[in-house]
Structure 1
Amino acid sequence: MKQYLDEYVTYLEDVKGLSRSTIESYRADLQGFIAFAAERDVINPQEVTRTMLGLYMGRLRQQGKAASSQLRCTASLRSFFQYLVRQAVIGQDPTQLLENPKPERKPPKSLTIEQVDKLLSAPDSGTPQGARDKAMLELLYASGIKVSELVNLNTHDINMEMRFLRCAVSGGKERILPITQIAAESVAFYMQDMRDKLIRDTDEDALFLNSLGTRLTRQGFWKIIKKYGKLADIDEEITPHTLRHSFAIHLLQNGADLRSVQEMLGHSALSTTGMYQSTKKSMKEVYDHFHPRS
């Protein structure tokens, strides 16, 4: 099969125009399989069966290869044998019924409650930008909305007195979500005392404004949360979704039911929300919290 591998690599270079790193990954995957097949005295592609391919994927799992590496190897094998079918080297593709490895589902990264407190305390509310940033961070952690939903909020979408926000979603629908007292107070302070210092056009309805007086963007918020992550001395990587993940995980850790969290996050499938349950408290935390004499 080695001669066909060389021809296939040339095809990837000249016809497909793939990058050098991608081609080398394909080559390494296929060389591994060719060596595996040779151990079983299979040197011709016509002799390769789906069973043999399944055995090879099993070996990769036994070796502890990551699911992403297994998926890439499956893609490499499929591409190679489909190429051989097109070249009339083999009559049937042995990868046709080969199952894809299940992708690894890593739990979302979140912050501890102490880290969230430090992050939310980082902005200086004495400045217009600081008051805006404090309101945004408090609102994200209080409601679990997406950053895109946050920056699309308008002034009339927040009810500080009743402590809820109205969040527009696709299809013309909306979600009504509760917010904390401190989030409501932070938004109220920003709107009453600081927003006017940012606004340029009195007709602007966007709740959160940038330095030009127009609606803040997702990219703008990305820079803001990165800045406060550094100010709060948080070593973990913080993304715009970090507070949303932390919101969900902290609710579940403190006894919220999965269905309610699903509704607040706006997930259509309960299984999507279920990924947050993979992050569990330690045995000692569970013991200290629930044992009556701990």
Structure 2
Amino acid sequence: MPARRDPLIERFLDHLWLEKGLSDNTRSAYRTDLSLFADWLALRSLSLEAAGRDAILDHLAWRFDQAYTARSTARLLSSLRGFYRFLVREQVRASDPTLQVDLPRIGKPLPKAPSEAQIEALLAAPDVDTPLGLRDRTMLEVLYATGLRVSELVGLTLEQVSLRQGLVRTVGKGNKERLVPLGQEAAFWLERYYREARGSLLGGRPADVVFPSLRGEQMTRQTFWHRIKQHAAVAGITSTLSPHTLRHAFATHLLNHGADLRTVQMLLGHSDLSTTQIYTHVAKARLQALHAEHHPRG
């Protein structure tokens, strides 16, 4: 069932786009959270603009009974806080009912990055003697070399990639641009892919997207995820793989080989170092290993 289009919610989403530049995916998550809460209120003859602290607490208790995760509930409460702050600012209501509602405690899960051996097996899985296989191999190489978000990868255009400089210029969350090094291996596969496969996939159709689908259009994120699953099966990898786990692998393997958190933050396009600190355990483990290996009392 599609999320209901509440006028107040749509005004709030327009505000997020105009003033904060949030992506379509982020605003869609806000819409889902707020619409589900509005539907729950409506069943109890309440409205979004009139709901008070007690209604929010009742809803959180209901979510607990329905076995919603603490993480999803925290995301909902974050959506509600932003929404009610907006309503107060717009003078739709006098006070924010979320001010005295605490966030549920959640622990950040450690990223389950594939090992370097698994990555090597995955990269070797596509049949590079076919245009489709060569495209997939190149996409995997670029993803692992750069740590791009999947939306950034499938949306890459020719002008964003400089083989001469060995750089990818991408625009991430909040319309923030960053430059990411390609590395020699990814550059090699890109050159080969341009030379041997891209024209065949396009079939003479004009397009500026680097990795077109068989229809010569931009590939969807879901299609690429499906391709990864296929290649993981060929590589004999039974653990769950996705574009996001490959992004985790990029960050984790950089740290394992001596990169610092600030560098990884810049490469991933995180606006705040606290987001990158989910990888602190990786950096600590490497420091402990180095200490044990090199310190006279390690």
CA contact (8 A) 1:124 1:130 kept: yes
Counterpart CA distance in 1 for 2:183 and 2:293 is: 24
Aligned to 1:207, what secondary structure does the other structure show?
coil
- Uncovered stretches (5+) of structure 1, i.e. residues with no partner: 1-11, 18-22, 31-65, 76-94
Q: Find the counterpart in structure 2 of residue 243 from structure 1.
A: 246
Calculate the aligned-residue CA RMSD, in Å.
Answer: 3.5
Give the Å deviation of 1:286: 4.7
Q: Find the counterpart in structure 2 of residue 15 from structure 1.
A: 43
Counterpart CA distance in 1 for 2:229 and 2:235 is: 10
Letter of the 1:68 counterpart: A
Counterpart CA distance in 1 for 2:173 and 2:191 is: 27
CA contact (8 A) 1:67 1:102 kept: no
Give the Å deviation of 1:166: 1.2
Aligned to 2:239, what secondary structure does the other structure show?
coil
Give the Å deviation of 1:282: 7.9
Q: Find the counterpart in structure 1 of residue 132 from structure 2.
A: 129
- Is 1:68 aligned with 2:70? yes
CA contact (8 A) 2:168 2:180 kept: yes
- Uncovered stretches (5+) of structure 2, i.e. residues with no partner: 1-39, 46-58, 78-97
Select the residue among 148, 153, 159 that pairs with 1:150.
Answer: 153
Letter of the 2:115 counterpart: T
Percent identity of paired positions between Structure 1 and Structure 2: 39
Select the residue among 229, 238, 257 that pairs with 1:226.
Answer: 229
CA contact (8 A) 1:68 1:104 kept: no
Q: Find the counterpart in structure 2 of residue 210 from structure 1.
A: 213
Post-superposition Cα deviations, 1:212-269, rounded to whole Å, max 9, x if no partner, equal 1212111110111111111111111111201111101111122111111111111000
Post-superposition Cα deviations, 1:262-283, rounded to whole Å, max 9, x if no partner, equal 1111100000011012246489
Counterpart CA distance in 1 for 2:62 and 2:173 is: 40
Greater CA radius of gyration, 1 or 2?
A: 1
Counterpart CA distance in 2 for 1:195 and 1:215 is: 13
1:96–1:215 CA distance, 2 compared to 1 (3 A): closer
Counterpart CA distance in 1 for 2:64 and 2:138 is: 51
Give the Å deviation of 1:155: 1.8
Residues paired across the two proteins, number: 221
Give the Å deviation of 1:170: 5.1
TM-score, scaled relative to structure 2: 0.64
1:15–1:235 CA distance, 2 compared to 1 (3 A): same
Counterpart CA distance in 1 for 2:149 and 2:191 is: 21
TM-score, scaled relative to structure 1: 0.65
Give the Å deviation of 1:104: 1.6
Counterpart CA distance in 1 for 2:248 and 2:99 is: 38
